């Protein structure tokens, strides 16, 4: 029986064909590899994490996991049952012919495939579609393995179905990134991919393509040949305090001046006329003399307190003499320095 490995670290990087392997021969149980990284794990340039033998398992937990340039995480057995691979990460990235695989058996020594479980429910599982990076749990002679992936989205992979022996042998070098749990002669395994399945069109409303011509909604009061002859009495009238009122949902803007409301004076001042204001006395005088004709104002003067008063008589200007003789003016002019 092979030995076990337990690794806990902040981050882990395997580069230039580095390896973490357990190996056993024949029917002996393979060793166990458990890796926990608080940050990221990088497996680069031909490096691998590998458990070879019967039922050799690999467990990996990291915030992110990246495989690049012919790197692998795999379990393999020539006979018996393949081991399982369990990965918990936020994001999983496979680049340039990288693999996660659990395969078992040969054409002469059949076996059942193992299980690959990838839990990236808060992130993504991504591969380039043309870089031949695979997630496979295939079997020769026995039952195919199981692949279970949970993620927001799985991008770049083709889900491959029933494969022949030749296709199983060629799947790792067929030029496409694949997910496969097949068997050449036995029952195929199961591939279960659970994603968030967000529909980007959900909640969108299709806008109408037939737009309304607003000119057809306005009545034409005159003919179109510029004859200035009215054809109808169509009108558009807006009334209100100070013009068009704002929307009830909007606040009043600074600078808007609203005139006072004109109300009917219903206060009785017959007993105390001295309580009436000048404005109220003027209104009462006007209301009591409704028969007097209205006269158009033709003049304007300024009162002593600065008010502008309209008058029914034209305004005449009165010339005011300054009281100075021309000789005095000449004296002032002569004293001006140049």
Partners of 126 in the beta sheet? 93, 155
Give the span between the Cα atoms of 241 and 320, in whole angstroms.
46
Spatial neighbors of 331 by CB under 8 A, at least 6 apart, are: none
pLDDT attached to residue 210: 72
If pLDDT is split at 50, 70 and 90, which confidence band does 257 have? low
pTM, rounded to two decimals? 0.59
User: Which H helix or E strand runs over 36?
Assistant: strand 33-37
13-24 pLDDT per residue, tens: 999 999 999 887
Spatial neighbors of 286 by CB under 8 A, at least 6 apart, are: none
> What's the rounded mean pLDDT across residues 311-337?
58
Give the span between the Cα atoms of 116 and 317, in whole angstroms.
108
Cα 34 off chain centre by: 39
pLDDT attached to residue 318: 61
Q: Give me the DSSP letters along 278-292.
A: HHHHHHHHHHHTTTS
Nearest alpha-carbon partner for 143 in 192, 181, 183: 183
Percent of the chain with pLDDT over 90: 33
Residue 203 φ then ψ, to 5°: 90, -5
Partners of 93 in the beta sheet? 66, 126
Out of 6-10, 70-74, 163-167, 191-195, which region has the weakest mean confidence (pLDDT)?
163-167
If pLDDT is split at 50, 70 and 90, which confidence band does 170 have? confident
Q: Is 117 left (phi over 0), alpha (psi -120 to 50) or beta?
A: beta
123-162 pLDDT per residue, tens: 999 999 999 999 998 887 778 889 999 999 999 999 987 7
Give the span between the Cα atoms of 141 and 191, in whole angstroms.
19
Give the span between the Cα atoms of 253 and 277, in whole angstroms.
33
pLDDT attached to residue 266: 56
For residue 144, count CB atoms less than 10 angstroms from its CB and return exposed for 0-12, middle for 13-18, buried for 19 or more.
buried
Top-ranked range on mean pLDDT: pick from 123-137, 267-281, 308-322: 123-137
201-237 pLDDT per residue, tens: 666 777 766 777 766 666 655 555 555 544 455 566 6
Partners of 119 in the beta sheet? 88, 150
């Amino acid at each position: 029986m092979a030995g076990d490995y337990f690794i806990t670290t902040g981050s882990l990087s395997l580069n230039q064909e580095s390896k973490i392997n357990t190996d056993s021969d024949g029917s002996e149980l393979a060793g166990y590899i458990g890796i926990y990284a608080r940050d990221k794990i990088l497996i680069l340039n031909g490096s691998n994490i590998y458990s070879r033998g019967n039922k050799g398992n690999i467990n990996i937990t990291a915030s992110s996991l990246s495989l690049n340039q012919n790197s692998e995480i795999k379990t393999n057995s020539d006979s018996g049952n393949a081991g399982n691979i369990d990965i918990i990460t936020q994001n999983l990235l496979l680049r340039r012919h990288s693999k996660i695989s659990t395969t078992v058996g040969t054409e002469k020594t059949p076996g059942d495939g193992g299980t690959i479980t990838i839990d990236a429910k808060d992130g993504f599982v991504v591969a380039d579609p043309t870089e031949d990076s695979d997630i496979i749990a295939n079997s020769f002679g026995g039952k195919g393995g199981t692949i279970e992936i949970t993620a927001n989205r799985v991008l770049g992979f083709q889900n491959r179905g029933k494969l022949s022996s030749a296709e199983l042998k060629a799947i790792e070098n067929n030029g496409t990134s694949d997910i496969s749990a097949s068997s050449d002669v036995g029952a195929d395994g199961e591939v279960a991919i659970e994603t968030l399945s967000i529909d980007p069109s959900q909640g969108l409303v299709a806008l109408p393509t037939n737009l309304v011509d607003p000119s057809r909604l306005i009545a034409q009061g005159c003919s179109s040949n510029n004859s200035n002859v009215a054809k109808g009495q169509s009108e558009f009238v807006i009334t209100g305090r100070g013009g068009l009122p704002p929307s009830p949902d909007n606040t009043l803007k600074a600078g808007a001046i609203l005139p006072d409301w004109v109300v009917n004076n219903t206060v009785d001042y017959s007993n105390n006329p001295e309580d009436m204001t000048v404005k109220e006395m003027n209104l009462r005088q006007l209301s009591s003399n409704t028969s007097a004709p209205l006269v158009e104002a033709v003049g304007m003067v300024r009162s002593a307190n600065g008010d502008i008063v309209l008058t029914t008589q034209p305004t005449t200007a009165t010339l005011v003499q300054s009281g100075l003789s021309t000789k005095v003016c000449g004296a002032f002019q002569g004293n001006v320095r140049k």
